[in-house]
Amino acid sequence: MKQQTFKPQPVKRLSARMDYTLIEFLVGIVTIVGFMYKFERDTRRDIEELRIGLTNVQRDVGELRRVMNGLGDFLSSLVENLGRKRIIEDVDLLKTALRNMTTTTTNPLTEEERKRLLELIDKGEDMTPEEADELARLARKFYREYAGKVENAWLMLYYAGAIRGIVYGKYNRKLTPILD
């Protein structure tokens, strides 16, 4: 038997046009991967900046809420003193607005507290100092939840403060701070 020798076959050369197409394809893929990497890196950076910004906004809102509560307490105290001296009059005109406010909003008060608040609003000046204190506590609870959410939520504090001052003046009692 005759032994055959192995002769390598010549490699078929791809045409130059095919080489350029393959190179363009690879360059396109590398470019797309590069853009995707840059987009992902930029997006991560942007998300981190947004997180930091949101944290700052949350902190600022918390500070603003504390300031508003302090301002509400101050104004309530001022109105109480003005009511005690009978400088503020006709607070009964607010009753209708306050009744509507307590029924039209999702209330932070329990159903029992809401009913009690409405009873106290209806009593007006014909209440005891203890009831006036209760009205002021319920009004503060309402205000703290709805300041900035319900238009004129501060009226609840105004009314409670004025009535408390008037009632304390009627009973000739000294106004004392309400501790929640």
**Residue 150 and residue 164 in contact, taking contact as beta carbons nearer than 8 Å:** no
Residue type for position 50: L
CA 145/CA 21 separation, integer angstroms: 67
Please tell me whether the overall predicted TM-score, pTM, comes out greater than 0.75 for this model: no
Q: Higher pLDDT residue, 116 or 97?
A: 116
Domain boundaries, the chain: 16-45, 65-170
**Residue 108 and residue 142 in contact, taking contact as beta carbons nearer than 8 Å:** yes
Percent of the chain topping pLDDT 90: 12
Q: What is the rounded average pLDDT of the residues 98-116?
A: 71
CB proximity list for 41: less than 8 A, separation 6 or greater:
none
pLDDT at 133 over 80: yes
Query: 1: pLDDT confidence band, cut at 50, 70 and 90?
Result: low
pLDDT at 162 over 60: yes
**Residue 125 and residue 167 in contact, taking contact as beta carbons nearer than 8 Å:** yes
